[in-house]
Chain A
Amino acid sequence: MLLIFNNVHETLSAEKVLKEKDIVHKVVPVPPHVNEGCGLGIRIDAKIKQSVLEAFNQKQISVEQWIEEERPN
């Protein structure tokens, strides 16, 4: 699952939260056709979406798009 944020600040703020919570993730480049954001996204395993959501809610991190992916994580 690919998470897209408004800009680099929000993407890396989200990354910081995931690191603090020890949630497995990867910061990855995304092409312009995926979003018109900052060219960055965060990939997580779709199975942990709920725990990611909770972590972000606690720190008031907003996600612009949650994109389901067919490719393996």
Chain B
Amino acid sequence: MIYLDNAATSWPKPESVYQTVEQTIRNAGNAGRGANSMSLAASRILIEARMLLAELFNIPNSERIIFTQNVTEALNLALKGTLNAGDHVVISPYEHNSVVRVLEYLRAELDITYSIAPLYSCNSSYDIVAAFESVIQANTKMICVTHASNVLGTILPIHELGKLAKSYNLLFLVDAAQTAGAIPIDAQAMEIDLLAFTGHKGLLGPQGTGGLYVKKDVLIKPLIHGGTGSRSAKLSQPDVFPDALESGTRNLAGIAGLAAGVRYCLEHMPEIRSHEILLLEKLLTYLQQQPHISMYGPAKATERVGLVTFNLDKMSADELGYVLETQYNIATRTGLHCSPLAHQTIATVDKGAIRISVGPFTTELELNQLIAALEEITCC
């Protein structure tokens, strides 16, 4: 199998991730549940994972990293935990349904509204910031933005948007689903208040892992309440972090695997990105030369994460995906990628598009095989 769907979930993982998950299931107890040696070992795994993530994202206080089962849960926690009735949110047109559906729910339940920054004709970071600024209202509480589009690959100017958010005293929530592990993220320099990430994509960990960083002094309510192993005599939720937002048994084996993935990223991040750019340039060069292929998103590899979305004139995206899978053993992703807003910007909501996404272990040979397959499919 040539696996080109790393934007959905990275595969394969580093060997250390597989080994760590197995060792953890075999050896660890339940974190934060008493003083037996297996429980302590489990708690130490959580601490280590938080510290590695804090190092990766330049987060000053690791206890402010809350483990969730995925980035969707992290975004739900961030939005539902900080927004109140009557608040307004500014988002980009590239937001995933994990943001938009939450905001639609909050609109119906709490009269929370949102505006989409008009990025359609923006050619620079300056234009993008101006587009976000143009829809800020008196009741705007937050700018919520994806670091990179999972459809177009476009990387948004997080540093500049962070400055904009601070200049209006707004909360700044960043969805790093497509960038964490591949693109450097500095939570302090980028003035990020809330950073939502998933563990199973660029961070190379197992599915069922993710988290939310909550900057100190950001007021946030828990999504769930329950046992934390702390303040057990108290009937109300503790307010100390991470316990305030993290109830119930964690996915310890998954988080241990995530820690192994993060360690791999810390050791290899510059090569991961340069390899990704090399592969992107190869694919972009080919696609841009084809008259019967419509490619979406930035022309330059350095302005994208490791994905490219396109359509053939002669064949629908779903049919192309099926042919690639069944005749060439190449796995891709077709459809709307859970991001109908992004597809609206390229007028592909009706037909969808096919997405190719690479990872640290994708080889040039595999991309050559994809290109050869596309050549065969388009020539006859």
Do A and B share a complex? yes
B43, A8: Cβ atoms under 8 Å?
Answer: yes
- Give A15's nearest chain B residue, CB to CB: B44
Given A6-B230, A7-B230, A36-B232, decide whether A27 and B47 contact each other with a Cβ distance below 8 A.
Answer: no
Instruction: Tell me if A28 is interfacial: C-beta within 8 Å of chain B.
Output: yes
**Which chain B residues lie closer than 8 Å to A13 at the CB level?**
47, 62-63
Write out, one digit per residue, whether chain B residues 226-244 have a CB within 8 A of any chain A CB (1) or not (0). Answer: 0011111110001011110
B230-275 residues at the A interface, CB under 8 angstroms: 230-234, 238, 240-243
**What's the tally of chain A residues with a CB closer than 8 Å to chain B?**
18
The stretch that binds A, out of B31-39, B125-133, B185-193, is: B31-39
Q: Cα distance A10–B63 when bound, in Å?
A: 8
List the interface of chain B (C-beta within 8 A of A). 31-32, 34-35, 40, 43-44, 46-47, 50, 62-63, 228-234, 238, 240-243
* CB contacts between A and B, total, < 8 Å: 60
A39, B34: Cβ atoms under 8 Å?
Answer: yes
Q: Cα distance A7–B245 when bound, in Å?
A: 13
User: Which residue from A7, A16, A32 sits with its C-beta under 8 Å from B228?
Assistant: A7
**Which chain B residues lie closer than 8 Å to A8 at the CB level?**
31-32, 43, 229-230
- Give B238's nearest chain A residue, CB to CB: A7
What is the CB-to-nearest-CB distance from A18 to chain B, in angstroms, rounded to a whole number?
Answer: 13
**Which chain A residues lie closer than 8 Å to B63 at the CB level?**
9-10, 13
A7, B232: Cβ atoms under 8 Å?
Answer: no
A7, B233: Cβ atoms under 8 Å?
Answer: no
**Which chain B residues lie closer than 8 Å to A55 at the CB level?**
none
B interface: dominant SS:
loop
User: Which residue from B40, B47, B231, B232 sits with its C-beta under 8 Å from A9?
Assistant: B47
- Give A16's nearest chain B residue, CB to CB: B47
Given A8-B43, A12-B47, decide whether A27 and B232 contact each other with a Cβ distance below 8 A.
Answer: no
Write out, one digit per residue, whether chain A residues 1-43 have a CB within 8 A of any chain B CB (1) or not (0). Answer: 0000011111011011000000000011100100011111000
- Give B243's nearest chain A residue, CB to CB: A7
What is the CB-to-nearest-CB distance from B309 to chain A, in angstroms, rounded to a whole number?
Answer: 41
**Which chain B residues lie closer than 8 Å to A15 at the CB level?**
44
Given A8-B31, A12-B43, decide whether A36 and B243 contact each other with a Cβ distance below 8 A.
Answer: no
Q: Cα distance A40–B44 when bound, in Å?
A: 13
What is the CB-to-nearest-CB distance from B216 to chain A, in angstroms, rounded to a whole number?
Answer: 12
